[in-house]
A and B are shown apart, each in its own frame.
Chain A
Amino acid sequence: MVDVGLVVANLVYGLLIGIIYGIATVGLNMIFGVLKIVNVGHGAFIMVGAYVTLLLFTLAGVTPPLTIVASMAVGIGLGLLFYYLVIKYLVDAPELATLLATFAIGVLLQEIVKAFMGADSRGFTWNLGNIEIAGVSVALSKVIAAILSIALLGFLYLVIYRTKLGLAIRAVVQDKEGAMVVGVDVDRIYAISFALGIMVTVASGSILAMYLQSGIHPYMGEIYTLKGFVIAVMAGLGSIPGAFIAGILFGLFENLSYVALQSIEGIQPLVLTRSIAFLLLLIILLVKPSGLFQR
């Protein structure tokens, strides 16, 4: 017997968390799309964003939606810093070197945050009450987080498709040598793209903090690196809108597969959904390795 109410509730929550997954993956995919670098330290940047929101809200009382602006600034700063300090030297290096370097950056960020903030799991309360969506009661803060995710995606879309800078970025993605010939400073474009990718990632950390309001600790990002990989591959590495849609699908899939597994005795359905998600990943990779949304 499938409980209809349970299915609807899981659809709504799956959609909401899926939107968050989506925005949390966009930065990863953008960096891969332009620089062909898989950012293994991805989750650490999400964690930084969560701390920005936590600190601004608890210490200065800044309302969480506004903290995203601060996160974006922090993201651009960190992106440029790490690009010129590290990534710049590795753009043409073998895949291994970049995997390792981004891993080291992730560890560095985690440990610095831990040194200043401690290892405690932190949280805050920003309660705006609940609203009803399709008969399901949902915290308003979660809905706002989802809306802000879409707004952030829109902002990135505008930058990439409606500005001169975006044109240059797209030119580099399509044909690096060609772009160089027509006078595009590829190094600068790389720097800006990396910074933009990190910006979105850090900002998504703020949104995530707003959504969960708990469990903020230095190592919180690791699971988003893993899920981000799955979602990015589902979408096709490099695709930005694809990452967002794949995130939503992933969220829905996770929650619905839970409903499906729930009736089986003797297993732990929510834990098994993880297994199923990775099985899905393998199937996608085998059937359509270029991802669902890659031309």
Chain B
Amino acid sequence: MPGVDPWVLREALRRSAPTLVFYLVLLALYLAMPQYSQFIAMILFYAILGQAFNIFMGMTGYVDFGYVAFLASGAYAFSLAAIALSEAGVTGWIFIPVGLAFAAIVAATLASIVGAIALRLRGAYFAIATIGVNEGLRYFVEGANLLGGSIGLYIVKNLKALVGKEGYQLAATLLADLLMFLLAAVTVLVTGIILSSRLGYALQAIREDEDAARALGINVTKYKVTAFIISGMLGGMLGALNWALKGGVVEPAHVFMIHYTVEAIVIVMLGGAGTLLGPVFGAMTYIGLNYVSNVYIAPILESMGIKATGLHLIILAPILLAIIIAAPNGIVGLLKERIKNPRIRSFIT
């Protein structure tokens, strides 16, 4: 960001450092243990999802149920760029920066439109309005036969035309993941900058008491819309990387699934809303528990003669409930409460 106060930058780095270290550890594990790389990539996707979602929800307290629409718009934009480039006869890796930029622009545009309309609402009304945006878009794509309609866009062939078969394999398994690590770092830094800057303080004031903030002369709408756009833009790039580049198929029934927003909420809540470390912890816990109960516990139950499949969600749901009730400020909140040592505390951001 141009014109950022050096003090703000230093402060942002200080705050971001512990989370960045976590991502570095994840990256090291990713590279060192290829047999677990997709598991780590899955955690990474959910961590970024939480992190990007957190920028708006965690800091303002507004719940955007339609957040997944930004991921969807990014995935569509990236796919369109890839299709256009491959059909224009372009080859090579240029499609990735072009596609990502286009995804960011489209998602930011969508965010500014939605933000301008929906951010006039509050609380449950805002939450429900954003559901409306998401579902409205999905059924518009399907009903008006736009962008491949309900069948969606298939771009594996186009990607293979752009960078060859081996290139695509590399892109879908390794490169997309590495770019996601990069996106994770960017997201963390952006969050750090926001938290340390005037924007962050304004958002905090809004979260505490929006009317009081307005009365104090804070331009509430401007700050809210800014955070909303940043959050949406990052989401758009995540959708582009994980669903378009890594997935190769953009299907409306999948990319507009509200379930992803709900998962993002779970992750942010679990880790601690408005914090930097929260989404990483949240994603690790949520996906970790899910994976453990799915891959380890379910087969044990099965060997004990309990044959019902898909049991792991029954285990997961009560755990979630317990965490919400016992630790409403998430894991990070719990750590802050329990750890008294100020030096260690300063790392829990």
Contacts and interface: CB of A to CB of B under 8 A. Distances in A.
B216 interface: no
B156 to A, nearest CB: 26
A96 B278 CA distance: 15
Given A96-B269, A115-B311, A285 B125 contact: yes
B128 interface: yes
Contacts of A133: none
Contact of B129 (A237, A270, A272, A282): A282
Interface string A86-104: 1001100111110111011
B11 interface: no
Given A101-B321, A269-B143, A275-B140, A96 B273 contact: yes
On chain B, which size bracket covers the interface? Answer: 35 or more
Given A90-B328, A111-B310, A275-B140, 20 more contacts: A90-B324, A93-B324, A95-B127, A96-B269, A97-B328, A100-B266, A104-B320, A104-B321, A107-B313, A115-B308, A115-B310, A226-B131, A229-B131, A268-B145, A272-B139, A281-B132, A282-B129, A285-B121, A286-B120, A289-B125
A99 B265 CA distance: 9
B18 interface: no
A274 B135 contact: yes
B12 interface: no
A96 B265 contact: yes
A289 B347 CA distance: 43
Contacts of B324: 90, 93, 97, 100-101, 104
A267 B150 CA distance: 12
14 contacts: A38-B124, A93-B324, A94-B328, A96-B57, A100-B266, A101-B325, A103-B262, A103-B265, A111-B311, A230-B128, A268-B143, A271-B143, A275-B144, A279-B132
B247 interface: no
Interface in A196-237: 226, 229-230, 232-233, 237
Interface of A: 32, 38, 40, 85-86, 89-90, 93-97, 99-101, 103-105, 107-108, 110-112, 114-115, 226, 229-230, 232-233, 237, 266-275, 278-279, 281-282, 285-286, 289
Given A94-B328, A100-B320, A282 B144 contact: no
Contacts of A111: 310-311, 313-314, 317
A15 to B, nearest CB: 23
A89 B325 contact: yes
Contacts of A112: 314
B143 A272 contact: yes
Contacts of B265: 96, 99-100, 103
Contacts, number: 144
Contacts of A101: 320-321, 324-325
Contacts of A103: 262, 265-266
A139 to B, nearest CB: 27
Interface in B96-122: 117-118, 120-121
Interface of B: 57, 61, 63, 117-118, 120-121, 123-125, 127-129, 131-133, 135-137, 139-140, 142-145, 149-150, 258, 262, 265-266, 269, 273, 308, 310-311, 313-314, 316-318, 320-321, 324-325, 328
A97 B132 CA distance: 22
Contacts of B117: 282, 286
Given A86-B321, A94-B328, A267 B145 contact: yes
A93 B117 CA distance: 28
Contacts of A108: 313-314, 317-318, 321
Contacts of A230: 128, 132
Contact of A107 (B61, B120, B317): B317
Top 9 A-B pairs ranked by shortest CB distance? A272-B143, A278-B136, A271-B143, A274-B139, A108-B317, A278-B132, A275-B139, A281-B132, A275-B140
A193 B279 CA distance: 35
B7 to A, nearest CB: 31
Contact of A96 (B61, B142, B325): B61
